[in-house]
Amino acid sequence: MANSRKRHLAKTFTWRIIGTMDTMLLAWIISGNPMTGFKIGAAEVVTKMVLYYVHERTWYKINFGLDRRAERKRRMARSQEISKNIKKQHFKIDSTERVKLMNQKPCVVWFTGLSGSGKSTMANLLEAELHESGYKTYLLDGDNVRHGLCNDLAFTDEDRIENIRRIGEVSKLFMDAGMVVLCSFVSPFAADRQSVKNLVGAENFVEVYVDCPLEECERRDVKGLYKEARAGRIKNFTGIDSPFEIPESPSIVLKTAEEDPKDLLNQLLSLVEPKINFSSDVKVQSYSSQGA
């Protein structure tokens, strides 16, 4: 909830005003001295406001007692009820027309791997090269979408599944617009990756497994997340207390701890560019030959 801190502060002040007035009145009645009641009330209001606020914020961060699965079922039930009144619209301009205008074949390039494995780095390099070559692309990154589209989701298994479901639907929309979509997500569950593949079509889905040992990811720890997870301050962290299901048959495997990013980028270009170019005899231009 975006205004939770303001709400907690407001509740802290209003509750303490009521509580303090009650304490002052009781202290006055018991002691017979209004000044004593005032002093006790003043001392109490500060200490209890701090304690109450800390208590509220602590419980806000704890999942205990929250049934996310029940909420998800309710949300899905509402969605199914609403969907009865929704009809798909068909317009004059369809994906075929957009693809012609874009002069490229749309697809989804899905980067999966542990946090810190190099997914965003490789996706960023690939997009830069494709963009330089005139392709129309868009990169969806796990951290970025959680600032907006998925900012209501946590990192429970249920929320991870919903996160990838939403990204799959967004990717499909981008593909319908004729774009080459690059997706960089931990996406630890094989079933979720398969669902996206089914959604956009197997022929349009390139699964890139960014393979990097956990030890190396921890050594890099670019965002400091592994340290937090090891200390118990981050729960359900992939590779620590939540599993990562290795892809059984990815389109390509990038070993970022063993090979140079330029070499890996050349491998990606060799796989992706022929897939998105209308010309059947496309010649892939290597990264190194462009002077980068």
Report pLDDT digits (tens) over 206-254. Answer: 999 999 999 999 999 888 999 999 988 888 899 998 899 999 999 999 9
The residue-averaged pLDDT of 113-137 equals: 95
Q: Does 70 fall in a domain?
A: no
Inside any domain, residue 259: yes
Mean pLDDT is highest, among 10-14, 91-95, 270-274, for 270-274
Same domain flag for 54 and 101: no
pLDDT of 69 reads 62
Number of domains the chain is built from: 2
pLDDT over threshold 60, residue 283: no
Q: Is the pLDDT of residue 5 over 70?
A: no
Alpha helices in 116-156, H assignment, sequence order: 119-132, 142-145
7 to 15, 60, 152: CA distances (angstroms): 12, 12, 18
Residue appearing with tokens 């619209």: 89
Mean pLDDT computed over 147-169: 91
Report if residue 72 sits inside a domain.
no
Average pLDDT, the chain: 84
Burial status of residue 221 (CB atoms within 10 A of its CB: 0-12, 13-18, 19 or more):
middle
Q: Which of the pair, 61 or 257, is modelled with greater confidence? A: 257
Q: What is the pLDDT at residue 288?
A: 43
Q: How far is CA 101 from the centre of its chain?
A: 31
Of the candidate ranges 12-21, 136-145, 155-164, 204-213, the one whose mean pLDDT is the lowest: 12-21
pTM summary value: 0.69
Return the sign of the alpha-carbon dihedral for residues 253, 254, 259, 261: positive
Q: How confident is the model at residue 183, as a pLDDT?
A: 97
Q: Is residue 231 part of a domain?
A: yes
At 125-136, the pLDDT tens digits run 999 999 999 999
Say whether both 272 and 130 belong to one domain: yes
Domain housing 31: 4-61
Cβ atoms 238, 63 nearer than 8 A: no
Evaluate whether residue 232 is within a structural domain. Answer: yes
CA 55 to centroid of chain Cα atoms: 28
Q: Tell me the mean pLDDT in the region 26-42.
A: 80
- Tell me: do 171 and 279 sit in the same domain: yes
pLDDT digits (tens, 9 = 90+) for 49-91: 777 777 777 766 665 555 556 666 777 777 667 666 777 778 8
pLDDT at position 272: 96
Catalytic residues: 187
